[in-house]
Amino acid sequence: MADLRKGKFILIYDDEKREGETDLVIASEFVTPESIKTMRKDGGGLIFLMISKEVANKLKLPFLADMYSHINNKYPILKELVPNDIPYDSKSSFSLYINHRKTFTGITDIDRSLTMKKFAELIKKTEKLNDGQAIKKFGSEFRSPGHIPICVGAEKLLDERKGHTELVISIMKMANLIPAGSGCEIMGDNGKALSKDKAKEYADKNGLVFLEGKAIIEAWKKWSK
Amino acid sequence: MADLRKGKFILIYDDEKREGETDLVIASEFVTPESIKTMRKDGGGLIFLMISKEVANKLKLPFLADMYSHINNKYPILKELVPNDIPYDSKSSFSLYINHRKTFTGITDIDRSLTMKKFAELIKKTEKLNDGQAIKKFGSEFRSPGHIPICVGAEKLLDERKGHTELVISIMKMANLIPAGSGCEIMGDNGKALSKDKAKEYADKNGLVFLEGKAIIEAWKKWSK
C-alpha cells in the first residue's frame, strides 16, 4: 500500500475468474500519460476507472444495465442484448464512459490520463457539495459518451462481491487514498490473460508489488472490523 | 484494397483531426486473436468496430448520445454530461459496446476477436431477415454492455462526414467486403497520436499499405458516381 501512496503500480491477481487474471493498478490521483502508456503496452486490456458505490451515488452515475432496462421499450434491441449470461457474474458493473472536456480525441495517453486524474480530483472536490452541486460540477468538467469506462464497486465492497473493482477500491480505502483506481488487465501472448507465473515475473522484473486477491480480502476483514 | 480482401491490415491517415491520426484497420470478417494483439501492441488506442448506418438501422443500434437524451429525465446526470463540445465533431458516433455471448471476460485477444468476427458474420446472416428476426438473431449471439465499442458511420458516408468510420466503411464497400471494419488508433511515445512520418515508417517496415484520407475520398467520388 506504500507503493500505491507513492503513485506506483501494483499488480492484483484475481482468481475469481476461471483462468485467473492480473491487473496493473494505480491510484487514479497519480495517473500520468506515462501510466497510460505502461497500461496499454504492458497490460493491453481495457484501461478503466474503478470507483466506489458511494462516489457513484454522489455523482448519480448509473449502471448501464439498469439504465438500459429503463429505456428498452423505446430501444427494443436492449431487451435482446440483455447481459443475463455473464459467466463470472450476476451483473455488469459498467457505468458510463467519460472524457474530460479538455481532451481532444479522448484516446491519447495525455487525454486518458487527464480524464482519470481529473476524475479523482472531482471526487475530492465534490465531497463537501450537495448532490445537485456535485452533478453540476461533474458535468462542467466531463462529457459522455467518452473513452474511459467507469466500473462501480458493490456497496459493501469485499463483504458483498470479490471482483477486481472491489479489490481495488478496498485497497484504496485501506491506503487512505481517493477511492478511484485506474487499471488494465494484463494480456498474454497466447490470446488469453497473462498466466499468474508470468505476471509474477513481470512484477519482479519491474520492482512492483504482486498481491493476491485473497491477501487483500484477509487484510480487508481485519481493517474493516 | 487487395490487401484488405486478403485480411491484411492497412493504415489510414485521417487529417481531419487537429494533430492528424493514423488508424490500423482490418476488415472485421478477417479478425483473429493475432489481429487484436497487433492492434493493442502496435496501435494502443481504442480497439473498435465501425459499421455503416444501414447495418445500424437493420440491427436497431442507437447512437448512445440519442439514447441518453431520451432518458435524461430519469438520469439527470446525462443532461450535465451532454457531449456538446467535441472539438472535432458535432456529434458522438458511439453506439453500444458489445460482447459475443460465448466470450468469458470479453477482453482477451480470443474474446475480442470472437466478438468482431462474429459481428461481421451476423451482418451477412441478417441481410435477408426482416428487422424483427434480425434483432432476435443479434440478441441471441451478443450482449451489451460489453468490451467492443461500435461506431456508426454517417448515412451518406464520405458525402456527409469525413471521420475515420466513414473512411473505413467506404473502403470496405469499394472492396466489396462486409461493411464492418475493426480499427485502432496508433499512439506515439510522446503521449500523442503517432506522427504521420512515423506511421509511414511503421507501414514500410511491416509491408503495409498507407492510405491518406484524401486519397480514399477521391476514390470514393469516382466509385460512388
Would you say B51 and B179 are in contact if contact means Cβ atoms under 8 Å apart?
yes
Beta-strand pair B142-152/B44-51:
parallel
Q: Do B81 and A110 touch (CB under 8 A)?
A: no
Q: Do A191 and B110 touch (CB under 8 A)?
A: yes
| Contacts with A82 (C-beta within 8 Å, 6 or more apart), sequence order | A65, A68, A69, A72, B139, B143
> Which of A105, A126, A138, A147 is most worth mutating to test chain B (most B CB atoms within 10 A of its CB)?
A105
For A58, the closest chain B residue by CA position comes to B77
Q: Do A145 and B17 touch (CB under 8 A)?
A: no
Residues in chain A within 8 Å Cβ distance of B84: 143
Nearest CA-CA distance, residue B112 and chain A, Å: 10
Over residues B157-199, the pLDDT tens digits come to 999 988 889 999 999 999 999 999 999 999 999 999 999 999 9
Would you say B142 and B131 are in contact if contact means Cβ atoms under 8 Å apart?
no
Residues in chain A within 8 Å Cβ distance of B142: 81
At B182, give phi and psi (nearest 5°). -110, 135
Residues in chain B within 8 Å Cβ distance of A191: 33, 37, 108-110, 113
Burial A44-62 (b: 16+ CB within 10 A, else e): bbbbbbbbbbebbebbbbb
| Section A194-210 average pLDDT | 97
Rounded Cα distance, A82 and A10, in Å: 34
Rounded Cα distance, A42 and A133, in Å: 39
Residues in chain A within 8 Å Cβ distance of B192: 108-110
Cis check: omega of the bond before B145, within 30 degrees of 0? yes
Closest listed residue to residue B221, CA positions, set B149, B127, B158: B158
Q: Do B77 and A64 touch (CB under 8 A)?
A: no
Residues in chain B within 8 Å Cβ distance of A62: 75, 77
Owner of C-alpha cell 487537429: B18
Q: Do B77 and A138 touch (CB under 8 A)?
A: yes
Rounded Cα distance, B166 and A109, in Å: 25
Q: Do A37 and B189 touch (CB under 8 A)?
A: yes
For B45, the closest chain A residue by CA position comes to A107
Is residue A29 very low, low, confident or very high in pLDDT (cuts 50, 70, 90)?
very high
Residues in chain B within 8 Å Cβ distance of A17: 104-105
DSSP state of A41: I
* pLDDT greater than 80 at residue A170: yes
Nearest CA-CA distance, residue A222 and chain B, Å: 30
Over residues B34-71, the pLDDT tens digits come to 999 999 999 999 999 999 999 999 999 999 999 999 99
Rounded Cα distance, A114 and A118, in Å: 6
Q: Select from A44, A192, A193 the Cβ nearest to the Cβ of B41.
A: A44
Owner of C-alpha cell 486524474: A117
Q: Do A80 and B145 touch (CB under 8 A)?
A: no
Q: Select from B40, B113, B142 the Cβ nearest to the Cβ of A187.
A: B40
| Section A92-114 average pLDDT | 96
Over residues B99-123, the pLDDT tens digits come to 999 999 999 999 999 999 999 999 9
Beta-strand pair A180-186/A21-27:
antiparallel
* pLDDT greater than 90 at residue A2: no
For A63, the closest chain B residue by CA position comes to B145
Q: Do B78 and A144 touch (CB under 8 A)?
A: yes
What pLDDT sits at residue A62?
A: 96
Would you say B17 and B86 are in contact if contact means Cβ atoms under 8 Å apart?
no
Q: What pTM does this model have?
A: 0.96
Is residue A88 very low, low, confident or very high in pLDDT (cuts 50, 70, 90)?
confident
